[in-house]
């Protein structure tokens, strides 16, 4: 039976998980966070240090760093982890190439390759990842982004931003190539068809109405009470609701830095001749005058 340790980043409401086999200590990491202060544009290692401290508490064998998608709200610490755990493989959905193509154009990134080669491994739908004695099944769940993946390990599924806790619903679908219709299919046909007792581990918890942080539910609970998509939800109604709701949402605070680094597998942009890396920040008026 697998064991799971969560880490919660209060600044971005992100959940990182370490999953391991207690018999062999074969382990994988989901969605690790690198702390970023936008005012000073500086990266710090608080979240990495917490993870690292835990990973040093036992002789874990870290096989994979798995990204559920290219996050738009926090920066991945995957390259920092790879420095200290060089045997780990960084993997993401092969459709990351579509996300790279979209955003490299938007940010006007020159010489940015959009073939996904920045990552160690591009995953295909239905792939089985063997991480020592751990076996993970790759299930594409597009909708929040085109490159969203859920991972099934034994009786647990890691859903990233496809499913949140039942009282918070599902991820927004207004990022480029996001699709409420696709998200509905992913949830209904790919997640809600899993055994009812499957444990669901979400990628964020926004603590609605000030409740305590929660990150674990079951497929049965989601089908019964997810406020956006439960087993009774009609596709057209959901798509209408999601599309209208998304129009009212602000861009995530760390959208611009997060996306630029995360489509580059967590690498900083190539340094300029002065040795410093820079982010591109597009600017435009929202209204004509």
Size of the site for Fe ion (CB under 5 A): 2
- Closest contact distance (angstroms) between CB of 204 and Fe ion is 7
- For residue 74, the minimal CB distance to Fe ion (Å) is 9
Q: Would you say 27 or 183 has its CB closer to Fe ion?
A: 183
Cβ proximity to Fe ion: between 9 and 161 the closer is: 161
Tokens 């959905």 locate to: 93
Distance separating alpha carbons of residues 150 and 193, to the nearest angstrom = 13
Stretch that binds Fe ion, among 65-73, 124-132, 241-249, 265-273 (CB under 5 A): 65-73
Nearer to Fe ion, 70 or 131 (CB): 70
Cβ proximity to Fe ion: between 116 and 160 the closer is: 160
Q: What is the dihedral of CA 179, 180, 181, 182, to 10 degrees?
A: 50
How many CB atoms sit inside 10 A of residue 182's CB? 20
Task: Tell whether residue 161 is a contact of Fe ion (CB under 5 A).
Answer: yes
Site string for Fe ion, 66-95 (x = CB under 5 A): -----x------------------------
- Minimum CB separation from Fe ion for residue 161, in Å? 4
Q: Where are the beta strands (DSSP E) in the chain?
A: 3-9, 14-20, 26-30, 33-37, 42-44, 61-66, 75-76, 89-93, 121-123, 128-131, 134-140, 149-153, 156-160, 199-202, 216-218
Q: Which is nearer to Fe ion, 71 or 190 (CB)?
A: 71
Q: Angle at Cα 72 formed by Cα 68 and Cα 78, nearest 5°?
A: 55
Least separation in angstroms between residue 217's CB and Fe ion is 18
Cα Rg of the chain, angstroms: 18
Residues that bind Fe ion (CB under 5 A): 71, 161
């Amino acid at each position: 039976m697998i064991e799971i340790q969560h880490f919660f980043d209060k600044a971005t409401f992100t959940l990182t998980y370490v999953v391991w086999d207690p018999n062999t200590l074969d382990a994988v990491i989901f969605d690790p966070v690198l702390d970023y202060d936008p005012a000073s544009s500086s990266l710090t290692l608080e979240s990495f240090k917490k993870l690292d401290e835990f990973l040093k508490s036992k002789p874990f064998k870290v096989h994979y760093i798995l990204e559920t998608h290219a996050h738009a709200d926090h920066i991945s610490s995957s390259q920092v982890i790879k420095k200290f755990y060089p045997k780990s493989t960084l993997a993401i959905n092969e459709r990351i190439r579509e996300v790279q193509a979209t955003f490299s154009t938007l940010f006007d990134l020159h010489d940015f390759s959009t073939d996904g080669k920045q990552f160690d491994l591009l995953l295909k739908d239905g792939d089985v990842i063997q991480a020592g004695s751990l076996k993970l099944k790759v299930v594409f769940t597009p909708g929040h982004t085109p490159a969203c993946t859920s991972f099934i390990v034994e009786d647990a599924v890691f859903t990233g931003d496809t499913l949140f806790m039942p009282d918070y619903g599902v991820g927004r679908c207004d990022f480029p190539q996001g699709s409420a219709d696709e998200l509905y299919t992913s949830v209904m046909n790919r997640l809600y068809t899993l055994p009812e007792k499957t444990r669901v581990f979400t990628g964020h918890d926004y603590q609605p109405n000030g409740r305590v942080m929660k990150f674990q539910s079951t497929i049965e609970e989601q089908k019964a009470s997810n406020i956006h998509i439960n087993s009774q939800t009609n596709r057209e109604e959901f798509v209408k609701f999601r599309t209208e709701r998304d129009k009212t949402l602000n861009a995530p605070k760390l959208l611009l830095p997060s996306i630029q680094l995360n489509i580059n597998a967590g690498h900083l942009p190539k340094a300029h001749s002065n040795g410093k890396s820079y982010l591109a920040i597009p600017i435009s008026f929202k209204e004509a005058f």
